[in-house]
Amino acid sequence: MIKHIYINLNKLLTKFILAVCLLCFTANAQDLGTLKVKAAEHNLDLKAQFKAFEAQLENVTQAKSWQDPNLSFGYFISPIETRVGPQIARFSLTQMLPWFGTYKAKGDIASYRAEAEFEKFQDQKLKLYLDVAEKYYDLSALRYIAELEAEQLQILRDLKSIVESNYENNKANLVDILRVELLIDKQSSVIQVLKDQDQALVTQLNQLMNRQLKTPVLISDPKQILEQKEVVETDSISKNHPRLEAIRNLQESNKAESVLAKKQAMPQFGLGLDYAIIQDRNAMNADAGRDAIMPMLSVSLPIFGKKNKSRKKQASLQGESLQFQLENEETRLETEIQVAQYKQDELYSLLDLYDKQLLSLKDILQLSEVALANATMQIEEVLRLQEERLLYQKQRTLTLANLQKINETLSYLTSNSAL
User: Do 261 and 174 have their domain in common?
Assistant: yes
Q: What is the pLDDT of residue 252?
A: 95
User: Do 398 and 381 have their domain in common?
Assistant: yes
Tell me the C-alpha distance between 125 and 360, whole Å.
45
Choose between 347 and 28: higher pLDDT: 347
pLDDT of 18 over the 50 cut: no
Q: What is the pLDDT of residue 401?
A: 96
Contact 379, 177 (CB under 8 A): no
| Residue 238 belongs to some domain of the structure | yes
User: Do 252 and 308 have their domain in common?
Assistant: yes
In three-state secondary structure terms, 71 is: strand
Tell me the C-alpha distance between 328 and 244, whole Å.
10
Contact 153, 187 (CB under 8 A): yes
Model confidence at 90, pLDDT cuts 50, 70, 90, reads confident
Q: What is the pLDDT of residue 56?
A: 92
CATH of the domain at 357: 1.20.1600.10
Q: What is the pLDDT of residue 288?
A: 59
In three-state secondary structure terms, 270 is: strand
Q: What is the pLDDT of residue 407?
A: 93
CA distances from 72 to 82, 274, 299 (A): 21, 9, 19
Q: Tell me what the mean pLDDT of segment 179-196 comes to.
A: 92
Region of 413 on the Ramachandran plot (φ > 0 left; ψ -120 to 50 alpha; else beta): alpha
| Residue 71 belongs to some domain of the structure | no
User: Do 51 and 24 have their domain in common?
Assistant: no
User: Do 307 and 345 have their domain in common?
Assistant: yes
Model confidence at 364, pLDDT cuts 50, 70, 90, reads confident
Model confidence at 234, pLDDT cuts 50, 70, 90, reads low
Closest CA to 379 of 161, 103, 83, 90: 161
For residue range 380-419, list pLDDT tens digits in order.
888 888 899 999 999 999 999 999 999 999 999 998 866 5
User: Do 318 and 178 have their domain in common?
Assistant: yes
CA within 13 Å, CB half, 113: 18
As for how many domains the chain has, the answer is 2
User: Do 166 and 38 have their domain in common?
Assistant: yes
What are the beta bridge partners of residue 22?
Answer: none
The domain in which residue 6 lies consists of: 1-30
User: Do 254 and 228 have their domain in common?
Assistant: yes
User: Do 3 and 59 have their domain in common?
Assistant: no
User: Do 379 and 242 have their domain in common?
Assistant: yes
| Residue 81 belongs to some domain of the structure | no
Arithmetic mean of pLDDT over the chain? 85
Greatest Cα pair distance, the chain, in angstroms, is 146
3-state SS of 280-332 is CCCCCCCCCCCCEEEEEEEECCCCCHHHHHHHHHHHHHHHHHHHHHHHHHHHH
